[in-house]
Structure 1
Amino acid sequence: MSETELAPAAEAPPRVPERLNAIERREADALRRWWQRLTLSAEALKAHTDAPPWPKGMRAMLRRCDSIEAAMLTEAFRHLWNSLPAQDELPERQRDRRLQAWACIAQVVVELREDAPKVPLGACLGQQKRETGKPCMSELRFQQLMTSRTPEELVQRLRRALALVDKRGISVVHLADNIALWWREYQGEISSQPTRRLGFIWANDYFAATAGYRQDGQ
């Protein structure tokens, strides 16, 4: 028997989880399981869980919501909220803010058709659009997204951003973490580390992607 035959099969490298800034790992895992059951077909879902998919009408109803308040009242959101780790020790005001943030997350994440683990939003929006030498989202619209001042503006602009990339190629978890970080900063909780602020994170990912195909001076 040769040395090649004796050698053990190479193991697949361990999957490195997304780096999170505003949500916990347990929340990220619960969100991904929720999105899978809400979005994937029964056949595709088998690769992730034995749980059955939820009715398609549940996802459709959440997608039709035009406000955070409406999203909170949907069955789809209640499934998500009940799957998140309980934080009963939080003061009532903080629990209310957490509820609003997760309703906002649900409104946007439900638009995704495909989950691309570890691919952040900025990188996807900055990728080249069909060999045109231009990003999927223009710098002007990207700047507008980064300066969203209200939750309604944020949801609307993120939905438009996802449409530009066919609602694919982005990590469900990264997207949720970005929205949670926006909410944290919206409430005045801005990190003392510039590299952990949403504006820097988005811009860094976006321009790193555009640098891959743009020539100097363009």
Structure 2
Amino acid sequence: MSDTELENAQKKDARIERCHVLSGHEAWAVRDWWQRLTLSPEMLKKLGSRPGWSKGVRAELRRCDRPEAALLTEGFRHLWDGLGRDEIAKDALYVWAGVAMVLAELKGEQAGVSLATKAGKAKGDAKKQGDSKQPRMSELRFQQLMECHSFEELLMRLRRALALVDKEGVSAVSLADDILQWWKENESPWRPERPTQGVAFRWANDYFRQVAGYRSNND
């Protein structure tokens, strides 16, 4: 891929995903890494992506139960190299290791779709659910996700949330952006300019907009 093609791809990813903390380069690096970590050689070739890594690389990340363990994996090293980070800041390493842990669970991606949006969609075939429509992730579990008290709890609940949506149909870039913004809001002095730009507000808006859509149809 030429420098011009790479720059265009980076700008496109940032625009499609409407990232809040990720740069265009980081958005492209996350998607490229996830594709090479997860997709088959045939799919990678079709997308014009670079060759992927062995299945064991992803499996190793999925076995990690905390960021410290993910830091020691080959998968994380590939991600860090792709980001082109020169500094070895402890916090940056830690949060990106958490990103790698969560994204390793995602087996099918859909650009531009947040996890909160997918979690709020109705279970099964909405046309056959009638008045019993329920979101893929219950409101109780969703509330627990929004009220996480630690980064480790956030990672655990995000992994569980992905399991509830069959680990597919979510944007890898959006998910990484959410994790990094949560970290910045809760583990550093940084705050968004407006409350509506906060990650919890965006999650609630995405989730309940989906729920309201099919519940209002039943009224």
* TM tier, smaller: 0.7 to 0.9
Unaligned runs of 5+ in 2: 1-11
Structure 1 residue 107, shift from structure 2 partner: 0.5
The equivalences for 1:93-104 within 5 A come to: 95-104=89-98
* 2:42 aligned partner: 43
Q: 1:50 to 1:29 in 2, by over 3 A?
A: closer
1:213 and 2:214 correspond? yes
Q: 1:57 to 1:194 in 2, by over 3 A?
A: same
* 1:9 aligned partner: none
1:69 and 2:63 correspond? no
For the 8 Å contact 1:26–1:85, the answer to whether it is kept is no
* 1:200 aligned partner: 201
Measure the CA separation in 2 of the matches of 1:139 and 1:149: 18
> TM-score, length-normalised on structure 1?
0.87
Measure the CA separation in 1 of the matches of 2:133 and 2:60: 37
Q: Percent identity?
A: 50
Q: 1:169 to 1:189 in 2, by over 3 A?
A: same
Structure 1 residue 121, shift from structure 2 partner: 1.2
Measure the CA separation in 2 of the matches of 1:73 and 1:100: 11
Structure 1 residue 51, shift from structure 2 partner: 2.0
User: Which one has the largest radius of gyration?
Assistant: 1
How many equivalent pairs are there? 200
Relative to structure 2, which stretch is displaced further, 50-59 or 34-43? 50-59
Structure 1 residue 182, shift from structure 2 partner: 0.6
1:80 and 2:79 correspond? yes
Measure the CA separation in 1 of the matches of 2:85 and 2:155: 25
1:174 and 2:174 correspond? yes
Measure the CA separation in 1 of the matches of 2:46 and 2:21: 28
SS at match of 1:158: helix
Kindly report the root-mean-square deviation, in angstroms, between the aligned alpha carbons of the 2 structures. Answer: 1.8
* 1:162 aligned partner: 162
Structure 1 residue 164, shift from structure 2 partner: 0.4
Match among 78, 87, 110 for residue 104 of structure 2: 110
SS at match of 1:169: strand
Amino acid in structure 2 at the alignment position of 1:74: T
* 1:4 aligned partner: none
Measure the CA separation in 2 of the matches of 1:216 and 1:35: 37
Unaligned runs of 5+ in 1: 1-13
* 1:184 aligned partner: 184
> TM-score, length-normalised on structure 2?
0.86
Q: 1 or 2, which has the higher helix percentage?
A: 2
Higher relative contact order at CA 8 Å, sep ≥6: structure 1 or structure 2? Answer: 1
Q: 1:176 to 1:50 in 2, by over 3 A?
A: closer
